[in-house]
Structure 1
Amino acid sequence: MKRSVSCSTALAVTLAVAAVTLGGGSASAQGLGTGHAAPSRQHNYTTKTPYAPQESLSRYQSAPRGFTPVFTENVARHGSRAMTDSSDGDAVLAVLASAQAQGALTRLGARLAPQVQSLLAGASAIGYGNLSGRGVQEQQQTALRMEQRLPSLFATIVAEKEPIEVETSGVARAIASANAFTSGLTGGDPALAGLIQAPVTNKDLLYFHKQPQNADYQAYLASDPELAAVIAEIDGEPGTARAAADVVSRLFSKDFAAAMSADDRTSFSRSLYELYSAAPDLAVEAPGVDLDAFLPTADADWFAYLDDAEEFYQKGPAFQGRTITYDMANVLLTDLFTQVEDKADGSSDKGAVLRFTHAEEIEPLAVLLGLPGSTKAASATLEHPYSYGDNPWRGATVAPMAANVQWDLYRKGSRYLVRMLYNEKETAFKPSCKPVARGSYFYDLNELESCFDRG
């Protein structure tokens, strides 16, 4: 018997989300200079972009005839959160205070400090780095949609008393995300409450980038000469100085802006961008904050590019011929396979496995899985670094807040199929893997094991 998600709970969460003030405007982006195609305003928050599902419930393919879902698992980034500390806000406020003391604020500049103070107050109220109200809503809504996609599976989980396993990185925002997600599940069906296990910490699986076994990766971040050189090259592009000069010219008097060094202008502008991109995540705690006016679209686009470049080289596909940024995610890919294989061979009675982690794990996993826009590496030469003009990698689409990968396992007799969702969109596995039919998003488990060299 199929059961639907509680209408009252779903409506309550939907209304809560609708009440959130969405950050960012809708103005179309301007150019980023030669070789850079600009993202739209709502995408220049990069990996701080609030979550939105990428496919509606009505558009999913039906499983091949006779197949029913028997298991689901996910890997999810924590939801929207407060910035990790107040350093960017403090830096911006210090410059604004100096300008104010000299009578050097423009009319626009005089409006900025109260906005920054409100944003910092909102972050401080929940604790820097912690899950925000918006992040709670993102996870709850994602859980409700999971139930709506798989009503027969959750009915079976309840009927057969199958456990739902929950794992986290052990970081507070990941634990809070797990709790928000499971509260969404139980809000949709209270009978699941007794089946959801308490979250357990698994740092080797869900915080692997910080673990001793990945010391080579940590050394890469700290001292790799190629990494340092390419980031310096990108940061030093003329667009950085131009964007920074534009930002300060609108906020400060001509003399004050001229007295700032180029480095000071850039440092101030990049800190302001960090606040700008963090503001939508704190829409519940700081609902009146809107920093769009202080960072024009073209300038926000440029600083988004700089931010994406760092993410790309530090956590994404990075350099051609090098795998240091994503090899470590094989532990997570292996676990995805292990869970569906154990369910298929009867050695597991779990109905679901839920994992909550960070961008540092989602981005390299996306490379290994061959997810759209996640795999193109950049040339190892400085002549052709990562750019928006010739590389589809974007933090806003690869690893927004609450980004998630979900595998659903279907059974018919002794045959098992797997369907993958990426940010809730049906997504093909890498091209070397063949689906059960042309255009299908369902793959035979044996085919996936062969395709990913599972032995």
Structure 2
Amino acid sequence: MKRTAPSSAVVAASLAVSLAAGVLFTAGTAAAQERGGASRVDRDLYGTKAPYEPQGRPGRYQKAPKGFVPVFTENVARHGSRAMSDGEDGEAVLAVLRRAQEQGALTELGARLAPQVQALMTAAAAVGFGNLSGRGADEQRQTALRMEQRLPSLFRTIAAERQPVVVETSGVARAVASAGAFTAGLTAGEPALAGAIKAPVTDKNLLYFHKQPQNADYQAYLASDPDLAAVLAGIEHRPRTAEAARHTVGRLFRAGFAEALSADEQIAFARALHQLYSAAPDLSVEAPDVDLTPFLTTHDARWFAYLDDAEEFYQSGPAFRGRAITYRMAGVLLDDLLAQAAAKAAGTSGNGAVLRFTHAEEIEPLAALMGLPGSTEPADPDEPYSYRNNPWRGAEVSPMAANIQWDLFAKAPAEGRPAAYLVRMLYNEKETAFKSSCRPVSKGSYFYTLDELKHCLAHA
């Protein structure tokens, strides 16, 4: 994919948009719902391009057991909403529309599409293809503010004692900009934190591991695994794909032009249009008047989103039963989560927080490795993944700005008793149980001893 570094002006503009927001993002989703981009009922139409929605319930989180106070927090977060990676889909759609216009073959609906696509392309080019959008910056800023509001005593201590807030990224521009927006959110909520936040460092082995040499076997799987190729081809070539493409084309072009397009051309056009449809909500700040929802019916958009989800499921998610090629490489990230919490508990680390910013290709395998909700079921070789037989959904597992957070709580030592440590996990800000092999401190609790996690997750 093309990765264009953002100019300093673009980054500054994105942060300015973020810092101007005066309400939490949960309130800010109303505009996106009006555009059809982020309402919970329609999130499956957008797959992993779905804008972020926090899943937690403020004021309803479990209280830590008596005597335990937060002493450390760490996260792994996907970058926020962004512009599409390149202009290929937009150019492909515009090329077909131009041909149809020259032949007088556009329907009334079809005649409205090109200006919308062009406006979206203009907005993406202004941000920089692949770069963090204004909405993405605000997603990160608001997530940071909510983190701070959940752990006020911890962040007051971090600020007062200048405990380091470590920031790590993949080094890709949108991840770096996401880190900047997140830490800007922290300092907006608590200005005294500015002196504790360290400059971001790049760690590709930790946060861009799917592209690194040590995972050549995974890269070979993507490029040439026969089972992967066969299952994705089988899903792509189901009759419903051609049917959805024909229906989409038939709504936009007059009969003669539509019938002259081959089945492959119709599918390519419809899938490219869906990619733009999925990308539009992520650019809602830069292109507020773009609305591509009229050009794909909900029924057709859901099918194309399923095709995208199937690719993500088999390429980065639970994939095939009995094979761990897609997610075992995330062990380096799980090990680091455990190591950072253990170092804080052991007193060998003075960090107050460790913040990591990465990509869907890292969040999805980590979710599968940890057995997080929606990522527990691989597919049987003779029963391909579908929405009917598997709970995995890109919009829930790894939307834009998806995040996994661990909070470490400590209880001071008393006579004859050492200090004790508990961990709570939030997944997209919702309290989430660790895998079933991990035992919480009591039935129904979201708190686990650190020693229990070291044991039950060490060989995940």
TM-score (norm. length: structure 1) = 0.93
Partner of 2:180: 179
Q: 1:448 aligns with which of 448, 453, 456?
A: 453
SS in 2 for 1:79: coil
Instruction: Write the distance in 2 (CA, Å) between the matches of 1:167 and 1:138.
Output: 18
What is the aligned partner in structure 2 of residue 427 from structure 1?
432
TM superposition shift of 1:132: 0.1
| Counterpart for residue 115 of structure 2 | 114
For the residues of structure 1 that align with 2:179 and 2:405, how far apart are their CA atoms? 15
Report what 1:347 is aligned to: 348
What SS does the aligned partner of 1:318 have? coil
Matches within 5 A, 1:148-167: 148-167=149-168
Cα deviation, residue 398, structure 1: 0.1
Q: Which runs of 5+ in 2 are unaligned?
A: 1-18, 413-418
The one-letter amino acid of 1:126's match is V
Deviation at 1:14, TM superposition (A): 3.7
Aligned letter for 1:244? A
Residue of structure 2 equivalent to 1:139: 140
Do the aligned partners of 1:244 and 1:269 also contact (CA within 8 Å) in 2?
yes
Q: CA deviation at 1:331?
A: 0.2
CA-CA distance at 1:59 after TM superposition: 0.9
Equivalent position SS for 1:59 = coil
- Which residue number corresponds to residue 33 of structure 1? none
Q: CA, structure 1 residues 16+341, in 2 after alignment: closer, same or farther (shift >3 Å)? A: closer
1:56–1:218 distance in 2 versus 1, CA, 3 Å: same
Aligned equivalent of 2:10 = none
1:396 equivalent in alignment to 2:395: yes
Alpha carbons 1:25, 1:41 under 8 Å: kept: no
In 2, Cα distance between equivalents of 1:25 and 1:279: 9
Cα distance change, pair 404–189 in 1 and its aligned pair in 2 (3 A) = same
- Code of the residue aligned with 2:226 in structure 1: it is P
Q: How does 1:206-225 map to 2 (within 5 A)?
A: 206-225=207-226
The residue type paired with residue 22 of structure 1 is A
Residues 43/16 of structure 1: CA separation in 2 closer, same or farther (3 Å cut): closer
CA distance in 1, matches of 2:60, 2:139: 20
Tell whether 2:32 aligns with 1:22: yes
* Aligned position for 1:318: 319
What's the counterpart of residue 408 of structure 1? 407
1:204 & 1:240 partners in 2: Cα distance? 37
Partner residue of 2:206?
A: 205
Structure 2 Cα separation of the partners of residues 10 and 341 of structure 1: 38
Whether contact under 8 Å (1:122, 1:282) holds in the other structure is: yes
Deviations 1:271-290 (A, max 9, x none): 00000000000000111000
Letter in 1 for 2:219: Q
Is the Cα contact below 8 Å between 1:50 and 1:280 reproduced in 2?
yes
Matches within 5 A, 1:285-364: 285-364=286-365
Aligned residue number for residue 44 of structure 2: 43
d(CA) in 2 for partners of 1:189 and 1:419?
23
SS at match of 1:320: coil
Q: Output the amino acid matched with 1:101.
A: E
Q: Distance in 2 between matches of 1:447 and 1:436?
A: 9
- Amino acid corresponding to residue 105 of structure 2 in structure 1: A
8 Å contact kept, 2:335–2:458: no
Match of 1:32 in 2: none
8 Å Cα contact 2:83-2:279 kept in structure 1: yes
Q: Which amino acid aligns with 1:374?
A: S
Name the structure 2 match of 1:255: 256
CA deviation vs aligned residue, 1:125-146 (integer Å, no higher than 9, x gap): 0100000000000000000000
User: For 2:99 and 2:20, how far apart are their aligned partners in 1?
Assistant: 49
**Distance (whole Å) between structure 1 residues aligned to residue 322 and residue 25 of structure 2:** 48
Give the letter aligned to residue 58 of structure 2. Answer: L
Q: Give CA-to-partner distance per residue, 1:248-271, whole Å, 9 cap, x none.
A: 000000010000000000000000
Give, in whole Å, the separation in 2 of the partners of 1:353 and 1:179.
14
Counterparts of 1:13 and 1:188 in 2: how far apart (Å)?
Answer: 12
Aligned partners of 1:79 and 1:177 also within 8 Å = yes
Looking at structure 2, the residues matched to 78 and 156 of structure 1 have their Cα atoms a distance apart, in angstroms, of 27
Shift of 1:21: 3.8
**Deviation of the 1:18 alpha carbon:** 3.1
Structure 1 residue 392: deviation in Å? 0.1
User: What code does the residue aligned with 2:421 have?
Assistant: Y
Residue pair 1:49, 1:277 contacting (<8 A) in 2 also: yes
Structure 1 residue aligned with 2:4: none
| 2:339 partner SS | helix
Aligned-partner Cα distance in 1 for 2:29–2:229: 43
In structure 1, how many angstroms separate the alpha carbons of the residues matched to 2:324 and 2:29?
43
Deviation, 1:19, is 8.6
Q: Which residue of 2 aligns with 1:6?
A: none
The 3-state SS of whatever aligns with 1:322 is: coil
Letter in 2 for 1:444: T
TM-aligned CA deviation for residue 367 of structure 1:
0.8
What is the Cα deviation at residue 109 of structure 1?
0.2
Partner of 2:273: 272
Contact 2:70-2:407 within 8 A present in 1 as well: yes
Identical counterparts, % of pairs = 67
> Shift of residue 41 of structure 1?
2.4
Please list the CA deviations of residues 315-360 of structure 1 after superposition, one character each: whole Å capped at 9, or x if unmatched.
0000011000001000000000000000000000000000000000
- Normalising to structure 2: TM-score of the pair? 0.92
| Cα separation, partners in 2 of 1:109 and 1:454, compared to 1, 3 Å | closer
Question: Tell me, what secondary structure is at the counterpart of 1:22?
Answer: helix
Contact 1:17 1:134 in 2 (8 A): no
Partner Cα distance (2:84, 2:427) in 1: 25
What's the counterpart of residue 35 of structure 1?
none
Residue 284 of structure 1: aligned partner: 285
> Match of 1:5?
none
The gaps in structure 1 that reach 5 residues or longer are 1-8, 30-38
Number of residue pairs aligned between Structure 1 and Structure 2: 435
